[in-house]
A = this chain, B = another copy of it.
Amino acid sequence: MNTLRQPILNELDRYQQLFRQTLTHEDDFLGQALSHVASRQGKMMRPVLLLLVAKEFGPVSDVSVRAAVTLELLHTASLVHDDVVDNSAERRGQPAEHTLFGNKVAILVGDYMLSSALHQAALTGDMRIVDIIARLGGTLAEGEVRQLADIRQAVATEAAYFNIIRHKTAALFEACGRLGAISAGAPEPMVQTAALLGETIGTCFQIRDDIFDYFEDDAQRIGKPTASDMRDGKVTLPALYAASVDTTGEAAKLAAFVLQRSASDADVMRLVELTKQHGGIDYARDTMETYRRRARRLLDDFSNSEVRSALAAYVDFTIDRDR
């Protein structure tokens, strides 16, 4: 983690200062509710990516720092709402916003942050940045709605899985790449390279996250119960693969139970076991390796060697991390 932040330590300080500033409010109650969100910053994966990409094109401007704040505000707002929608009590090992302040306040705090994201985007003075943020907000909401609809209709295919990943995670990382390049005045071909790099990283990020869910130790370390996705009616890549190759049909049957929310604890545990037996985890890891190779090819277009090494470390961290 330290390697990949090295080139932008100063920029991350500027980022954190502005991020915290946007989450203060004179109103006591709203101020408290916002400061809980601000206190829970996590690994700052998205701002780091955006600022690294910006650094490729010269000294990092205030516009790039503000773009990072804008994106993280939007991301955090959508997490606050997702936790209400998914009824998740915790986030990053700490109580979710709605756990402490109730669903009502969490909905409104999310709205407030979404508006702050757009206000910050407007302050960059760059309409392309505003438009990226507005579209991204729509994409994230679409992704969650689609996931609800898929759960309702008990749809589970690899195509549906990648569609949701694209909406919920890859779109955010793609925006990091795009915003990093645009905010730094990069030429259009490099904007596209950076966007594709972000999308590639984001896809890996989500697949890696989904794999955690199959291992008890991993799940504990990231602060979730094992197989919590399945308990929420979500079937991810490893189990989808197992369901498609298990010729007895048992894995497919259990996956259908999960989607219909009728799976017992024993069903879930059996599906986890079958997934491992049928090589579902290996399949998901192989998929990430394909993306790792694509990401490395994209990195050849970056000319600042310090940035390129940091981005390579970023890609490796995304795929190899243990939390």
Contact of A142 among B81, B112, B119, B145 (CB under 8 A): B112
- Asked if A121 is at the interface of the complex by the 8 Å CB criterion, the answer is yes
Chain B residue numbers with a CB within 8 Å of A118 are 118, 130, 133-134, 137
| Cβ-defined contact, A146 with B115, below 8 A | no
Q: Quick one: closest B residue to A34, CB to CB? A: B145
| Contacting residues of chain A (138-177) with chain B, CB-CB under 8 angstroms | 138, 140-142, 144-146, 148-149, 152
- Any B CB within 8 A of the CB of A122: yes
Q: Check A146 against B84 for contact (C-beta < 8 Å).
A: no
Known: A119-B131, A119-B134, A119-B135. A149 touches B107 (CB 8 A): no
In the bound complex, residues from chain B placing their C-beta under 8 Å from that of A115 are 114, 134-138, 140-141
Chain A residues with a Cβ under 8 A of chain B: 25, 27-30, 33, 78, 81, 84-85, 103-105, 107-112, 114-116, 118-119, 121-123, 125, 127, 130-131, 133-138, 140-142, 144-146, 148-149, 152
Beta-carbon contact of A81 and B105 below 8 Å = no
Residues of B within 8 A of A109 (CB): 141, 145
Nearest residue, chain B, Cβ from A143:
B108
Cβ of A138 and Cβ of B116 under 8 Å apart? yes
In this complex, what residue of B is CB-closest to A128? B122
Q: Within the assembled complex, what's the spacing in Å between the Cα atoms of A237 and B210?
A: 53
Q: A78-B111, A122-B127 are in contact. List 4 more A-B contacts (CB 8 A).
A: A81-B111, A114-B137, A125-B127, A130-B130
Q: Which residues of B contact A133 (CB under 8 A)?
A: 118
> Do B114 and A148 touch across chains, with their CB atoms under 8 A apart?
no
Q: Please, which residues of chain B bring their CB within 8 A of the CB of A116?
A: 134, 138
A32 → B minimal CB distance (Å): 10
Q: How far is it, in angstroms, between the C-alpha of A118 and the C-alpha of B265 when the chains are bound?
A: 43
A109 to B142 CA separation, bound complex (whole angstroms): 8
In the complex the two chains form, what is the Cα distance from A90 to B118 in whole Å? 30
Partner of A137 from the list B84, B111, B127, B138 (CB cut-off 8 Å) is B111
CA gap between A116 and B103 in the complex, in Å: 23
Complex Cα distance, B115 from A142, in Å, reads 11
A25 closest partner in B (C-beta): B142
Task: Please give me the residue from chain B that is nearest to A132 by CB atom.
Answer: B122
A105 to B81, CA, bound (A): 11
Contact B142 A27 (CB under 8 A): yes
Q: How far is the CB of A27 from chain B (nearest CB, A)?
A: 6
Cβ-neighbour of A33 out of B85, B140, B145 (below 8 A): B145
Enumerate chain B residues within 8 angstroms of A107, measured Cβ to Cβ: 81, 84-85, 107
Q: A30-B146, A84-B107, A85-B108 are in contact. Are A130 and B137 (CB under 8 A)?
A: no
